[in-house]
Amino acid sequence: MARSSYLFTSESVSEGHPDKVCDRISDTVVDAYLAAMPEARVACETLTTTNKVVIAGEVRGPEHITADYVSHLARMAIKDIGYEQDGFHWANCDIDVLLHAQSAHIAQGVDSSDGKEEGAGDQGIMFGYACDETEELMPAPIDFSHKILKAMADARKSGESNLLGPDSKSQVTVRYENGKPVGVTQIVVSTQHLDEKLTSHDIRSIVEPYVHQALPAGWIGKDCIWHVNPTGAFVIGGPDGDAGLTGRKIIVDTYGGAAPHGGGAFSGKDPTKVDRSAAYAARYLAKNVVAAGLAKRCTIQLSYAIGVAKPLSIYADLHGTGQVDEAKLEAVLMEAVDLSPRGIRTRLELNRPIYARTAAYGHFGRTPEADGGFSWERTDLADTLKSAF
């Protein structure tokens, strides 16, 4: 029997975290190629350390996207994040661009030709999840962890708070009663700061309003335990303090550990890679199942083989909260949405430069945008699912 009363914790990291700097640069490269050629292929990895950025991977796209241009894009991304410190500065960090042409052997398995439908860019399993814990239909711990850091970043960039640096982390422990989130028991915030004389108490006075802004009223009781910059000074941050790599924060990117993850990272990959596009599709299906009132919680798994168009399997788990038969739901979902790589990209309009904005504060639980950004967060399938049952 599932537990109904428990504590659950999730973490988030800001756009200035070393790994997130890498995700942002890699997704900026993806956007550049898709803006120039919607059918471009990109698999871009980034490494950062003290005043050094290395961008490597495989691409297929227009030749006018040169190494110098990619280097410029990386600098602009770093500048937007806010790095102008001695050990990592957008204007003078050393950038190596090592992108090369996509493997012909990979391309032949993925491309459509001679009546062969376009296949998946790789094998793998992808998961999507939704629940009714928040308005965004996301698990509460990860949703609130993201919101804390987003509020702090907005304050930093607007000039409202000029003592905070770009690198920060948050962690929220949520108390559940009868399966519902009702409050928080512990809050962790570690943030880079620009004045080395500031104490942990000083930093708490700065960040506490943003924590209260992010959490529901009444959720922070007098017994809640706070850990703000618990190790003390945090002046050296970002890639100068710790090396970063693309794709190392996949749990932060998804559901904070509240749902399974297939293992593949998202950032730096064009949408022919089902690691990314099918994970978005699985979230789209799960969110619409919950939005339609068919369940309070829903996990969807999809699986693919490289070069094969149709998913090998679909699995739906309603965690005992469903109003419908799960086997029938699987059949309805397969009928309602073309889950081939081409079908996903067409339905969710993924061949657009919409990915740099996904690189921090989660790929899920965001608001769909007018230009197609976060299209997988739409609930336009809910009425179809209702009518099917």
Catalytic annotation, residues: 17, 19-20, 45, 58, 169, 234, 242-243, 248-249, 269, 273, 275
In angstroms, the CA 360 to CA 167 distance is: 12
Is 265 flagged in the annotation as binding? yes
Is 269 flagged in the annotation as binding? yes
Say if residues 254 and 363 touch (Cβ distance below 8 Å). Answer: yes
Coil, strand, or helix at residue 206?
helix
**C-alpha torsion 159→214→286→258, nearest 10:** 110
Is 135 flagged in the annotation as binding? no
Is 45 flagged in the annotation as binding? yes
User: Torsions phi, psi of 312, nearest 5?
Assistant: -75, -30
Is 240 flagged in the annotation as binding? no
In angstroms, the CA 40 to CA 72 distance is: 20
How far does Cα 170 stand from its chain's mean position? 15
* DSSP codes joined into one string, 32-64: HHHHH-TT-EEEEEEEEETTEEEEEEEEES-TT
Q: Angle CA(135)–CA(137)–CA(143) in degrees, nearest 5?
A: 80
Is 197 flagged in the annotation as binding? no
How far does Cα 230 stand from its chain's mean position? 26
Is 146 flagged in the annotation as binding? no
| Strand intervals (E) in the chain | 6-13, 41-49, 52-60, 84-85, 88-89, 94-101, 124-131, 164-177, 180-193, 220-228, 244-245, 297-304, 313-317
**C-alpha torsion 186→189→190→193, nearest 10:** -150
Tokens of 58: 């495989």
Is 167 flagged in the annotation as binding? yes
Element containing residue 328 per DSSP (H, E):
helix 326-336
Is 200 flagged in the annotation as binding? no
**C-alpha torsion 180→292→259→168, nearest 10:** -80
DSSP letter at 100 equals: E
Q: Which residues pair with 10 in a beta bridge?
A: 172
Q: Which residues pair with 41 in a beta bridge?
A: 60
Is 377 flagged in the annotation as binding? no
**Which residues define the annotated binding site for L-methionine?**
58, 102, 242, 273
**Which residues define the annotated binding site for Mg(2+)?**
19
**Which residues define the annotated binding site?**
17, 19, 45, 58, 102, 167-169, 242, 248-249, 265, 269, 273
**Which residues define the annotated binding site for K(+)?**
45
